[in-house]
């Protein structure tokens, strides 16, 4: 099975919100979140990832409903474990949900979710979502106790946080890659699907490829940044080309 790519289009919404946050109903609102998703699909993306944050800083409720209705591929909804967002997820029924930590002050998600410390609250949400037809992933650091906790609460998947790996170089990056490898091996042995994401680029992917059992990479910022110069379709196709080097699925 080839390695799949989930394209996160949050930063397309960030650009839209920079001008149109208070006037989303205007006729000239751009860029279009739907157009970005359809372009990503056309370029070969296997899923579309969006994060509905509590503060609605980029993706808003209307985007979630629109994309669920209009896109042809899978929707991956990133979300904090709050009653409000959980209610939306249960109504929308995305194909996948990825539970993430959420801090209002952060620019982007800064680390993995503490599944071990929130097992019972997360277990209840996972149970509701999975019973509703949505497969659930935990966005976690490559910590073996967090991997075990994710399996124990009934999640179908984990998404390994690759931010530390991406931010380091040399021996420190190799050390983080080894941690990711160990987490992936344990997760696979526990029956979890192994995904990964955060900070991944066409330049650092090759060093990640020692990690076995990867099913899907979720990548957003690098693709949207590259699209400024190459266009969204070309940026996605460049990433897919770089991913062809992975042989451990």
* 213 given a catalytic annotation: no
User: Measuring CA to CA, which residue among 15, 34, 40, 11 is closest to residue 238?
Assistant: 40
Q: Which of 11, 46, 161, 198 is catalytic?
A: 198
**C-alpha to C-alpha distance for 40 and 26, rounded to whole angstroms:** 24
Bridge pairing between strands 135-140 and 193-197: unpaired
Q: Which of 4, 51, 58, 161 is catalytic?
A: 51
Residues 6+ apart with CB under 8 A from 210: 177, 178, 181, 248
Helix, strand, coil share of the chain (percent; to 5): 45, 15, 35
Find where tokens 């967090």 sit. 146
Strand ranges in the chain using DSSP code E only, listed in sequence order = 4-8, 47-51, 74-79, 96-99, 135-140, 157-161, 193-197, 214-219
Residues 6+ apart with CB under 8 A from 38: 70, 71
Q: Which of 11, 39, 58, 78 is catalytic?
A: 78
Residue pair 111/141 in contact (Cβ under 8 Å)? The answer is yes
DSSP bridge partners of 74: 47
* 248 given a catalytic annotation: no
* 78 given a catalytic annotation: yes
**C-alpha to C-alpha distance for 155 and 150, rounded to whole angstroms:** 6
List residues with catalytic annotation.
51, 78, 198
């Amino acid at each position: 099975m080839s390695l799949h790519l989930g394209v996160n289009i949050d930063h397309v919404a960030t650009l839209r919100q920079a001008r149109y946050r208070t006037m989303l109903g205007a006729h000239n609102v751009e860029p279009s979140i739907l157009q970005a998703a359809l372009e990503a699909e056309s370029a070969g993306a296997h899923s579309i990832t969006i994060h509905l944050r509590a503060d609605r800083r980029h993706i808003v409720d209307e985007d979630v409903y629109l994309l669920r209705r209009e896109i042809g591929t899978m929707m991956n909804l990133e979300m904090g474990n709050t009653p409000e967002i959980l209610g939306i997820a249960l109504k929308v029924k995305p194909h996948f949900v990825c539970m993430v930590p959420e801090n209002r002050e952060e620019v982007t998600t800064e680390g993995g979710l503490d599944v071990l410390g929130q097992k019972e609250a997360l277990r209840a949400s996972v149970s509701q979502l999975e019973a509703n037809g949505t497969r659930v992933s935990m966005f976690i650091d490559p910590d073996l106790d967090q991997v075990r906790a994710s399996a124990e609460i009934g999640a179908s998947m984990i998404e390994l946080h690759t931010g530390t790996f991406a931010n380091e170089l040399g021996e420190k990056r190799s050390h983080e890659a080894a941690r990711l490898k160990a987490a992936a091996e344990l997760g696979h042995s526990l029956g979890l699907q192994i995904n990964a994401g955060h900070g991944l680029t066409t330049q650092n992917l090759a060093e990640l490829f020692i990690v076995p059992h990867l099913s899907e990479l979720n990548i957003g910022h690098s693709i949207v940044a590259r699209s400024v110069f190459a266009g969204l379709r070309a940026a996605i196709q460049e990433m897919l080309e770089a991913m062809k080097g992975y042989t451990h699925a």
